Chain A
Amino acid sequence: MAQPLLQVFNLNAWYGESHVLHGVNMTVREGETITILGRNGVGKTTTLRTIMGIIRERKGEIRFADKDMLSVPLHRTAHAGLGFVPEERGIFSTLTVEENLMLPPVVSKGGMAIGEIYELFPNLYERRSSPGTKLSGGEQQMLAIARILRTGVKLLILDEPTEGLAPVIVQRIGEVLKTLKERGMTVLMVEQNFRFASRVADRFYLMDHGKMVADFPVDELPQRMETLHKVLGV
């Protein structure tokens, strides 16, 4: 079994007075694709943002490549090897597609070269001089993923990568994630599109009321349908 890359123990997080995460425990191993499932408002996005260090009111333990991440300032998190693609994609309107792509600093060797990225996302090459926000939603999502691939991070954190996208784009993003998996990239994502998630994930975490209530590999999905129905309400 591969080594754990990310380990989270008893993670709690707060938005001001509001206690949002209530002791999240999870492990992501090298090369795995993990999907967190759960209803709206159970703390999935908060989990990702707390692991990333965007939410600073947090307690518990986050270890990445055996390094304690709780005391690491936000601008050093990426240098430790965590790359984040937010739900709203975060494409900068004052930057061209290429400037958006080149914006995140390279944090370690092993990231994709710009040529490889354009090969994987030919649309971005064609529109490299356009303002980033003039791209379609699907292209923006690809740009948001592509710019992290350049940086050489070890763990790609994706927040709802298929939200609001046409089926054909969802399929393309699935293909991209499979390519990344073949290259050994570790992926942790939150996804509402269950059909998409079941195609790309190796393992699932099921979240409810600010903590993980179950975890299981993809081949146990049929046996877990009853739990999924109960927790997800689907």
Chain B
Amino acid sequence: MTMIFGIPLQAFMGQLLIGLINGSFYALLSLGLAVIFGLLRVINFAHGAQYMLGAFVAMLMLQYFGINYWFALLLAPIVVGLFGAVIERLLLSRLYKLDHLYGLLFTFGLALTIEGTFRYLYGSSGQPYAPPPQLTGATNLGFMFLPNYRGWVVVASLFVCIGTWLLIEKTKLGAYLRAATENPTLVQAFGVNVPMLLTLTYALGAGLAAFAGVLAAPVYQVSPLMGSNIIIVVFAVVVVGGMGSIMGAIITGYILGIAEGLTKVFYPEASSIVIFVIMAIVLLIRPAGLFGRDA
């Protein structure tokens, strides 16, 4: 049997894959958080709830309208994005002139409200959501079996992360976003509708969270608590990457997912805290994060 550092290859690669899958969710979620924080300066505590909403919308679309996974992957982010736009326009936008703490408290309250409502309606236990028939089964890679759906999660996450990065770094809309992050008043004086840009950004962030939620539905179960389980880790990812850094959020998401997976192989007891240990070390050495602008 092939061994790596005294660990069977299959076990090693299996954990690496789990790390990569977790990393895909971390990257997608921290990307949305970074986009929102970058422009709105709001620490969006409702991000986990929006991730959960994505999964629930997909499940409910299937239950009530027979909408399959592929359409749900497109529609759920739009539905949650629109919900985010309404929240931003009606409520969050009123807090921009206040201390950032108010935005954090508001989104925290929003998360508790959404999660509480879904717990009341659907209970705390998870509900299954089947992967699409095209992605059931596994592929033999020679050294391990790769479940097709999990391979898809990694590929889809990579595509969306790269697509979002290209949108922000290489398009005119992205230039407006980056400029408005630095000096929103001047961008507005140039004739750009910055309040609309803020709404779109929050909707985009919420939509990304919902996309991750739909991707996660067949991997984890659909549960009202699925967002709060992951969001604290995602905040740690954003801090390590550097608050507001888009590329930092993506790269750190994958790296920390893999680090967590490998810790499960070599020292399983530390696997649930390794990300926070890394965060503490990074904060000590580079307080602005690995990719933060002040670093």
Residues on A facing B (Cβ under 8 Å): 52-54, 74-79, 84, 86, 90, 92-95, 99, 102-105, 107, 151
Per the bound structure, the CA–CA distance linking A123 and B190 in Å amounts to: 23
Per the bound structure, the CA–CA distance linking A220 and B109 in Å amounts to: 65
A78 touches B189 (CB 8 A): yes
Determine chain B's interface SS by DSSP, over half rule. Answer: helix
Per the bound structure, the CA–CA distance linking A61 and B185 in Å amounts to: 22
Question: Which residue of the partner chain, among B172, B183, B191, contacts A92 with CB atoms under 8 Å?
Answer: B183
A105 touches B178 (CB 8 A): no
Per the bound structure, the CA–CA distance linking A107 and B187 in Å amounts to: 14
**Cβ–Cβ < 8 Å partners of B192 in chain A:** 75, 104-105
Give the shortest distance, in Å, between A226 (CB) and chain B (any CB): 38
A78 touches B179 (CB 8 A): no
A102 touches B186 (CB 8 A): no
Give the shortest distance, in Å, between B164 (CB) and chain A (any CB): 16
| B183-221 interface with A by 8 A CB criterion | 183, 185-195
B182 touches A94 (CB 8 A): yes
**Cβ–Cβ < 8 Å partners of A94 in chain B:** 178-179, 181-182
B183 touches A90 (CB 8 A): yes
Total B residues in contact with A, Cβ cutoff 8 Å: 19
User: Can you show 30 pairs from A to B with CB atoms below 8 A apart?
Assistant: A52-B189, A54-B185, A74-B188, A75-B188, A75-B189, A75-B194, A75-B195, A76-B191, A77-B189, A77-B191, A78-B190, A90-B183, A90-B186, A92-B178, A92-B182, A94-B178, A94-B179, A94-B181, A94-B182, A95-B175, A95-B179, A102-B172, A102-B175, A103-B175, A103-B179, A103-B190, A104-B191, A105-B191, A105-B192, A151-B190
Decide if B176 is an interface residue (CB 8 Å cutoff): yes
Give the shortest distance, in Å, between B183 (CB) and chain A (any CB): 6
Per the bound structure, the CA–CA distance linking A79 and B191 in Å amounts to: 6
**Cβ–Cβ < 8 Å partners of A95 in chain B:** 175, 178-179
Give the shortest distance, in Å, between B221 (CB) and chain A (any CB): 40
Q: For B172, B182, B187, B190, which residue has the most chain A Cβ atoms within 10 angstroms?
A: B190
A84 touches B178 (CB 8 A): no
**Cβ–Cβ < 8 Å partners of B186 in chain A:** 84, 86, 90
Per the bound structure, the CA–CA distance linking A154 and B25 in Å amounts to: 50
Question: Which residue of the partner chain, among A53, A99, A104, contacts B190 with CB atoms under 8 Å?
Answer: A104
Per the bound structure, the CA–CA distance linking A90 and B189 in Å amounts to: 11
Question: Which residue of the partner chain, among B172, B178, B191, contacts A107 with CB atoms under 8 Å?
Answer: B191
Per the bound structure, the CA–CA distance linking A93 and B175 in Å amounts to: 11
